[in-house]
Amino acid sequence: MWGRRTAQVFPPAVDTWVRLGTLAAAVVVLGLALGGWDYARSAYVTRVGWVRDQPVPFSHKHHVGDVGLDCRYCHTGVEDSAEAGLPPTHTCMTCHSQLWTGAALLEPVRRSLASGQPIHWQRVSKLPDYVQFNHSIHVARGVGCVECHGRIDQMPLTARAEPFQMKFCLDCHRDPSTRLRPVALVTRMEPLPWSEAERRAYGLRVMAAHRIDPKVLDNCEICHR
């Protein structure tokens, strides 16, 4: 019937298609929004759980979990410096001059010592350059290593445990009470034998004692300078 001049430009199917199309468009838009929201928080962006190739497959699980080294044995700066610091080759060799002296895995370490060239570690817990994080004050207030670095003692290969995004920092800065622990136990990995209520009660006492005011803790200049 398209032959004769008529106003009927479209077959009935068009209406169906248009309605379906509108629906589809709505779904797509919604999908993109949710997808984007999810992507920005996904491990792909935050690198949470990603293991990076290291010159030496160093196992925190072995050294911390099994051997029982304290974090501060290698990360010596953590208590009095902004940076926890990576151990110099000498620190590795304090033990490995006696243990596993011939292990192929440790060849890069020995080479480093011999050549004086540092070991090229790949940083796992890297904050953006515009964030000024200070380890010492967090340790001094009893923020456990595990709060940010996770159960490092269970990581055969080291991976980022938390999304180092602003929201992550803010959550703690706005309510530190449940993340505080006795300073003596900051490097301890296993969860404390405390109920949530006990933790909060303790945290609140610490905050009172040290005049920690969450209202000013989320100010820009605390981290950005």
Partner 1 sequence: MTAASDKRAAQWVLALPTRFPAPTAWLVSMGVALSLLALFLVSVGVLFAQGPGVWGNNIPVGWGFPIINYVWWLGIGHAGTLISAMLLLLGQDWRNTLNRFAEAMTLFAVTCAGLYPILHLGRPWRFYWMAPYVSTMGVWPQFRSPLTWDFFAVLTYLIVSTLFWYIGIIPDLAAARDRATRRRWQVLFGLGALGWRGQASHWQRWQQAYRLTAAIAVPLVVSVHSEISLLFAAGPIPGWASTVFPPYFVLGAAFSGFAVVSMLTVWLRWMLGLHALVTPRHLDMLGRLTLATGLMTAYGYVAEVFAAAWAGRHEMATLTARVTGPYAWSWWGAVLLNFVPLQLLWSQRARTRPLVLLLVGACATVGMWLERFMLVVTSLHHDWLASSAHRYVPTFWDWSLFAGTIGLFLTLFLLFVRLLPVISAFEVREEAVEGGGD
Partner 2 sequence: MTDPARHEPFALLAEFDDPERLVAAAHALKEQGWARLDAFTPFPVKGLDEALGFADDRVAKATFVGGVVGAVTAFAMQAGLSLDYPLWTGGRPLIAVPSFLMITFELTVLGAVLAGIGTLLVTSRLPRFNHPAFDAERLDLSRDDRYFLAILAGPTFDRDEAGKALAALNPRSITQVPKEPGA
Partner 3 sequence: MSEDTPLPTGLPQATGQAYWRGLDELVDEPGFMATLAERFPALATGPFSGEAGDWRRRDILKCLGGAVALAGLDGCERRPDEEALPAVVADEDGTPGVARFYATAVELDGVAQPLLGKTREGRPVKLEGNPEHPASLGATDAFGQAALLDLYDPDRSAAPLERGTPTTWARAEDALTGLRAALDASGGAGFRLLTGPVGSPTLRRQIAGLLARWPGARWHLLASGRTDHTAGGDLPRLDRAEAVVCLDADPLGPGPWQVWNATRWGQRRRAFQGGAGSASLYVAEPSPTITGVTATRRLAAAPSRIGVLLAALAARVGVAGVATAPLTSPERAWVDAAGDGLAKARGRGLILVGKDQPASAQALAAAIEAHLGNGATRTALPPLDALVPVDAAALLPDMAAGRVRTLLVLGANPAYALPGFAEAAARVATRLHAGLHVDETAQLAHWHLPLAHLLESWSDGRAADGSAVPIQPLVRPWLDARSRHAVLGLLLGDSKDDRTRVRETWPQLSDDAAWEEALLKGRIAGSEPAAVSPRPAAAPAPLSPPSPTDGLSLVVRPDPCVWDGSLAGNPWLQELPKPLTKLTWGNAVHVSPALAREQGLKNGDMVRLTAGDRSVTGPVWILPGQERHTVLVHLGHGRRAGSKVAQGVGFDVHPLLGATGPVRLERADGSATLASTQQHFAMEEDEFVRFVDTLADTLPPEPASSFYPPQKSSPAWGMAIDLDLCIGCNACVVACVAENNVPMVGAEQVAKGREMHWLRVDRYYRGDPDDPVHAFQPVPCMHCEDAPCEMGCPVNATVHSPDGLNLQVYNRCIGTRTCSAYCPYKVRRFNWFDLTSKDPPELRAARNPEVTVRSRGVMEKCTYCIQRISAARITAKKEDRAIAEGEVVTACQAACPTQAIVFGDVSRPDSAVSTRKAGGRDYDLLAEAQTRPRTTYQARIRSGESHGGEEA
Amino acid at 47: R
- Pair of tokens at residue 64: 């911390």
Instruction: Indicate the residue among 11 and 49 with the shorter CB distance to partner 2.
Output: 11
Residues 178-207 that bind partner 3 (CB under 8 A): 182-185, 187-188, 190, 192-194, 198, 201-202, 205-206
Q: Is 8 in the site for partner 2 (CB under 8 A)?
A: yes
**CB under 8 Å to 82, separation ≥6 — which residues?**
132, 133, 134, 135, 136
Residues 29-58 that bind partner 2 (CB under 8 A): none
Query: Which residue ranges make up the site for partner 1 (CB under 8 A)?
Result: 5, 7, 9-10, 15, 37, 40-41, 163, 165-167, 170
| Residue 13 Cα distances to 5, 17, 19, 128, angstroms | 20, 6, 10, 54
The SS3 call for residue 43 is helix
Q: Is 10 in the site for partner 2 (CB under 8 A)?
A: yes
Candidate list 19, 62, 174, 210; residue touching partner 3; CB under 8 A: 210
Pairwise CA distance, residues 34 & 49, whole Å: 22
Q: Is 108 in the site for partner 3 (CB under 8 A)?
A: no
| Residue 56 Cα distances to 32, 94, 121, angstroms | 41, 17, 8
Pairwise CA distance, residues 169 & 163, whole Å: 9
Instruction: Indicate the residue among 15 and 70 with the shorter CB distance to partner 2.
Output: 15
63 in Cβ contact with 96 (< 8 Å): no
Q: Which does 21 bind (CB under 5 to 8 A by kind): partner 3, partner 1, partner 2, none?
A: none
Residues 11-70 that bind partner 3 (CB under 8 A): 47, 52, 68-70
96-126 b/e with 16+ CB inside 10 Å = b?
beeeeeeeeebebbbebbeeeeebeeeebbe
Pairwise CA distance, residues 87 & 19, whole Å: 64
Smallest distance, Å, CB 221 to partner 2? Answer: 11
- Pair of tokens at residue 154: 């269970």
Q: Which does 58 bind (CB under 5 to 8 A by kind): partner 3, partner 1, partner 2, none?
A: none
The residue ranges that bind partner 3 (CB under 8 A) are 47, 52, 68-70, 72-73, 76-77, 80-83, 85-91, 94, 112-113, 116-124, 126-130, 132, 134, 136-137, 140-142, 182-185, 187-188, 190, 192-194, 198, 201-202, 205-206, 209-210, 216, 219-222, 224-225
The residue ranges that bind partner 2 (CB under 8 A) are 1, 5-15, 18, 218, 220
